[in-house]
Amino acid sequence: MGSWFLGNHAENSTTFAQLLSSVVEGIRVGRERIWPHDENMITSSMIESPDFKDEVEHLQKTLESVAGHLSEHSVPFYSFRYAGHMSMDVSLPAVLGYVLAQQFNQNNVTPEAGSLTSAMEYVVGQQLCYIMGFATDTSPQSASSLPVGWGHITADGSIANLESMWYVVLASQVPRNLKYYALSLKLAIQPDQELSFIASTFIIELADGTRKLLRDCTAWELLNLSLLTVATIPLCLYEQYGISSDALSAALQPFSIQTIGMEELNRRFDISQPAQYMVSVSNHYSWPKGCAIVGIGKENLVEIGVDLDIHMDITHLKTKLEECLARKQAVFCVVAVCGTTEHGAVDPVDQILELRKEMAMKGMSFMIHADAAWGGYFATKVTYKYPTPRRPSYAFSIPLNDWTNKQLYHLRFVDTITVDPHKSGYIPYSAGALCMRDSRLKFLTTWTSAYINTEGVDDLNMGIYGVEGR
């Protein structure tokens, strides 16, 4: 790893300078190749002019002065003596890649704008999914029936958390969201509506596994469908009735959360209690922020107590869920913090997953999101159920404790995960990521051809799936 960082006394400065100059050389060669016969924008007489020289000298002086001030007035995050905030030494690949890529693809919004970098972002998403334990499109699991994961880069972890909420609570771009989708569909198949022809035959699976005509489902049953049941409804409608996404979109539009709003949907279904989010008291402040932004209100972010090791108290969570079940108040999601910001503590992911199974039998379903902004990368150290990987003799290792090992192993079973390259990924500049266990979930936020896309082309279209337009 000595070759990956600059070092506390910039021991690798010669290597860094060489690598940096090969980045500049790569950029030069790249630019010379394109329209080689075009005239130069910057001519040699310009370069020789006094104005030009003054400008460069000014830039040089400014850089020197800022560099001096920065080193004098900054905390030496790169030093091992410093452990705090979210900053550490920036890895050399993270700096060099940043400088290089921004000369070609400043904006990864679509494959046209970031032709190579969009593909690279997709690969990075797959790598992160692999680290989390999700099946990826190249892993041997993908041959089995396991869903294939999908992930993408966000500006930071707060945005990744917000995006996971957006999937469940409301998707602003299109009239789709997990909790209320089936309610809108039930309205759209009423007798006088265009989709009424499916009412007597369209069957869906409820949380406890029973199957029922959508028409006959209660609001409570529809609010508790599993994530995947909702995500695949459009596909089922297409396969069973040939209803295209455009036709479905048009039929649903008058009843969607986006058109009539959550309040009106609640009124029509006599839902008097808002759905809730549950997360431990040690949650990161992006959660109350996210609740405010998506409009569910901070009051519906239910904080669950922790034990002396700052792990979410599963008994307390169970009590809160049972209370919701008793008064038929839906729960959007339970968030497991994997690496709390202050203490690095990891919630009982395994027990939350078990609890969801138990609650599903009673007709209650919710999404499970892991906020692994800090802890996600430590999944690379998971040895639970695996033999300890062989290490070169010179590499030292601090293993995970048994609890953390087990919980990070169970990340592979949650629905969505936030992980921050800018935290434990040695890329301490703007970079977060959202990974989902089942790539089909991304169609919750967009209508883009959930079934037409067989080529995987839309996997690269990062801009349409996220909160950021880029």
Ligand X SMILES: *Cc1c(COP(=O)(O)O)cnc(C)c1O
Please list the residues that pair with 152 across neighbouring strands: 434
Closest approach of Cβ 271 to ligand X, in Å? 30
Q: How far apart are CA 262 and CA 154, in angstroms?
A: 27
Cα 260 to chain centroid, rounded = 28
**CA geometry: angle at 439 spanning 416 and 120, to 5°?**
95
Residues numbered 108 to 137 that lie near ligand X (CB under 6 A) are none
Q: 158 vs 232, which CB is nearer to ligand X?
A: 158
Report which of 178, 189, 270 is spatially closest to residue 225, judged by C-alpha positions.
178
Among 111, 114, 432, 463, binds ligand X (CB under 6 A): 432
Please provide the size of the chain in residues: 470
Closest approach of Cβ 284 to ligand X, in Å? 3
Q: 111 vs 348, which CB is nearer to ligand X?
A: 348
Tokens matching residue 167: 């999937």
Residue 443 engages ligand X in binding (rule: CB under 6 A)? no
Number of residues that bind ligand X (CB under 6 A): 15
* Cβ atoms 260, 254 nearer than 8 A: yes
286-315 footprint of ligand X as x/- string (CB under 6 A): x-----------------------------
Q: Which stretch binds ligand X (CB under 6 A): 64-72, 131-139, 199-207, 335-343?
A: 335-343
Closest approach of Cβ 404 to ligand X, in Å? 14
- Residue nearest to ligand X as judged by C-beta position: 157
Q: Look-up: residue for tokens 């909790």?
A: 179
Q: 277 vs 374, which CB is nearer to ligand X?
A: 374
Closest approach of Cβ 420 to ligand X, in Å? 5
β-strands 331-337, 367-371: how paired? Answer: parallel
Amino acid, single-letter form, for residue 288: P
* Cβ atoms 432, 160 nearer than 8 A: yes
133-172 footprint of ligand X as x/- string (CB under 6 A): -----------------------xxx--x-----------
Among 176, 179, 284, 412, binds ligand X (CB under 6 A): 284
Amino acid, single-letter form, for residue 353: L
Residue 351 engages ligand X in binding (rule: CB under 6 A)? no
Among 187, 198, 337, 370, binds ligand X (CB under 6 A): 337
Tokens matching residue 26: 């790569």
**Is 439 buried (19+), middle (13-18) or exposed (0-12) by CB count in 10 A?**
buried
Closest approach of Cβ 435 to ligand X, in Å? 14
* Cβ atoms 130, 140 nearer than 8 A: no
Alpha-carbon dihedral 47, 53, 54, 60, rounded to 10 degrees = 110
Q: Which stretch binds ligand X (CB under 6 A): 5-13, 261-269, 305-313, 334-342?
A: 334-342
Q: How far apart are CA 335 and CA 260, in angstroms?
A: 28
Residue 279 engages ligand X in binding (rule: CB under 6 A)? no
Q: How far apart are CA 20 and CA 92, in angstroms?
A: 10
Closest approach of Cβ 278 to ligand X, in Å? 15
Q: 226 vs 424, which CB is nearer to ligand X?
A: 424
Q: How far apart are CA 108 and CA 90, in angstroms?
A: 22
Closest approach of Cβ 280 to ligand X, in Å? 10
Residues numbered 365 to 404 that lie near ligand X (CB under 6 A) are 371, 373-374
**Footprint on this chain of ligand X (rule: CB under 6 A):** 156-158, 161, 284, 286, 337, 340-341, 371, 373-374, 420, 423, 432
